Structures are given as structure tokens and as C-alpha cells.
Chain A
Amino acid sequence: MLGSDLELARAAARGDAQSFHALIDRHSAEMFRLALSLSGRRADAEDICQEAFIGAYRGLPRFDGRSSFKTWLTRIVLRQSAKVWKKSVWRNTASLDAATGLDGASGPRVKEAHGSVSKTDIAMDLTDVIARLGPDHQQVIVLRELNGLSYDEIAEALDIPVGTVESRLYRARAELRKLLKDYEL
């Protein structure tokens, strides 16, 4: 019988690899969803999850159980995603140029006057647009809108006051609306 997250984490910290694999089974789906919603790309989401879980394994001796294992892991995924975001800034900028006509290869699709865009296309484009938000705004939008976390849960995951969550969310929504307008989505 598997124990609580805390029990598994403590066993894993003592070197029981199976306990850590049990934690992966328990949390990988949710963490992958979070990483995917932040990165917008499955390959990036996979890398983020791998790095995050390895980082968590290394950091287990420092996990004191004050926050839940899931919150602690969420923080690691967010940090890892922010690193990937920084690396992808150049890539995103390049595809933004593509979207604005400098290069027709990739980037968010701009709705064409004569054509229709399928629901799947729009969904993909929205993911791309979210990935274009700054990391602070991206995180609150993803945590609130795509993962349904409450303000308190977001505050704990990001280690910021609830008031900061509120103001970031407000500004993030304004930025997102502007981006969607720019892309005519």
C-alpha cells in the first residue's frame, strides 16, 4: 500500500527509488499539463518535467513538508518553465516575425479574411499566444485559467502575496486581450 506524498518523499530521500517513481506516477500528469500549458510544446513540456523531477529528487533532503509535495513540485516546474521560456524568447521572436509577414513559416496564424480557421487551429494559436506573455503573466494565466488554481493556491505556488496574484492576473488578462486583438483571434 502506497503512503502519503510526504511518506513517499521521505522514503525517496533515504534512497528508495521506487517511492520516487510512485510520486512520478502520482503527479506527472498534472505537472505535464502545467508544463505544456506554459511552454506550448510537448517536447519542451517533456524536458521541463524531466528536469523538474530530477531537480526534485536532488532537493528531497531539503523538502521539509511545510508545503504539500504537489505545491513544492509545482514551484520547481514553474522555475524550470521560466528557464525554458527565457531560452525560447529568441525562437518566439523569430516566429512572431513570421506571423507578421517577415517569414511565412510558423507562428500564430492570423485569421485570413477569406478563409476559416478550425477550432483546433485556434486552440493551437491560443497556446502560442499564451506562450508569448511575459513569464509572470504567463504563469498566473496558466495557473488560473488553464489549471483552475485559486488565488491562494497560486500565491503559494509562486511564493507571492495574494494581492500580487490579483494585480498580475489583471495585467496579464489585459496583455492577453491585446495579443489576441493583434492576432485577430
Chain B
Amino acid sequence: MSECSQDNLHGDNLRLLHRYHDGELDGQDRRQVEQHLAECADCRQQLNDLRALSGRLVEVRLDPITADEQDRLHQAISAATSGFTDHAIIRMAVSMAAIAASLLIVTSVWLVTSMPGRSDSSGVGGSPQDWQQVAMTLHSDSRLPDWMVHSLGGDLP
């Protein structure tokens, strides 16, 4: 440690004193500080002040967690973790519904675009005559809406 007095007691010397006080020095550093303390009244005073402060903090009483407080902690975690599980299920359900809706839309589009009577029909699903026959049969069923019959068979008498 360097020479010190009340006026220049700062920086490295003070840090060393704090480290010494906190038991953070070992071996030669510790012996060096002890040697300095034996000769320096100002540093001894500083060390005593540090010890007094730590001694005061020992008075801080921290009662341990009670059984009730621990129970409430467990309950809060249970509520939160079950919430996460429900949330995950809901998210999965929404994802499944979205996939199902997408499949429905794609299938519908495919059906509509591949219907007979369309100019861009590739003929998938039978000839126009076949579809007209289906439409005529369906037309006789009054329960089906007109738009569905028209979409299948085009212009029917």
C-alpha cells in the first residue's frame, strides 16, 4: 500500500481496505495490508468504520418466508403454468382451424376451376354432357339453391 493520510486516503488504498474487510484478499496482499494497518492510524480508523457499518447491517432482521407465503407462491406458479398450457392448446386449435380453412378454400377453388362448361376447363371430372346430366337431376331437387345448379350445369331450360 502507498503512503496515506486523511487527505489522500482514497483510490487504491481504500479499495484494498474494502477488499481486506470483505475477506477478498489472500496471501501477500493480505499481509501487506495488515503491515500497513499496523503503522497507519488513518487506515485503521477507516477499517473500524467499515466494520462498524457492517456490524450495523447485521441488525437488519429478515424473517424467513412463511409457509403461507410459500403456498401462495406455489399457487401463483400453478395458475400461471396452467394458463400457459391452456394458451398453448388454444393456439394449436387456432392453427388447426386455419389449416382446415385453407384446405377447404383450395379444394373449392380447384372444384370451381375444373368444372365443365368453363372455358379453361381441362376436362377433369367428366365431359360437359355428364355434368349437364348431373345438373338436370339436381334441378329436379327443389331443396338445392339455383346458384349451385347453375354453377354445375350452366344454362338449363
A interface vs B, CB < 8 Å?
A: 15, 17, 20-21, 24-25, 28-29, 32-33, 36-37, 42, 46, 49-50, 53-54, 57-58, 119-120, 122-124, 126-127, 130, 141, 144-146, 150-151, 166-167, 169-170, 173, 176-177, 180, 185
Contact = CB atoms under 8 A, between A and B. Distances in A.
B19 interface: yes
A126 B53 CA distance: 11
A166 B97 CA distance: 58
A151 B15 contact: no
B24 A150 contact: yes
A54 B80 contact: yes
B69 A119 contact: no
A151 B24 contact: yes
| Chain B interface SS verdict (over half) | helix
Contact of A123 (B18, B61, B70, B76): B61
A61 to B, nearest CB: 12
Interface in B47-73: 49-50, 53-54, 56-57, 59-65, 69-70, 72-73
Contacts of B80: 54, 57
B91 interface: no
Contacts of B18: 166, 169-170, 173
B60 A167 contact: no
A126 B56 contact: yes
Nearest to A150: B24
Contacts of B73: 24, 28, 46, 49-50, 53
23 contacts: A25-B70, A28-B65, A36-B63, A46-B72, A53-B73, A53-B76, A53-B77, A54-B76, A54-B77, A57-B77, A57-B81, A58-B84, A123-B60, A123-B61, A126-B56, A126-B57, A126-B59, A126-B60, A127-B60, A141-B57, A166-B19, A169-B22, A173-B50
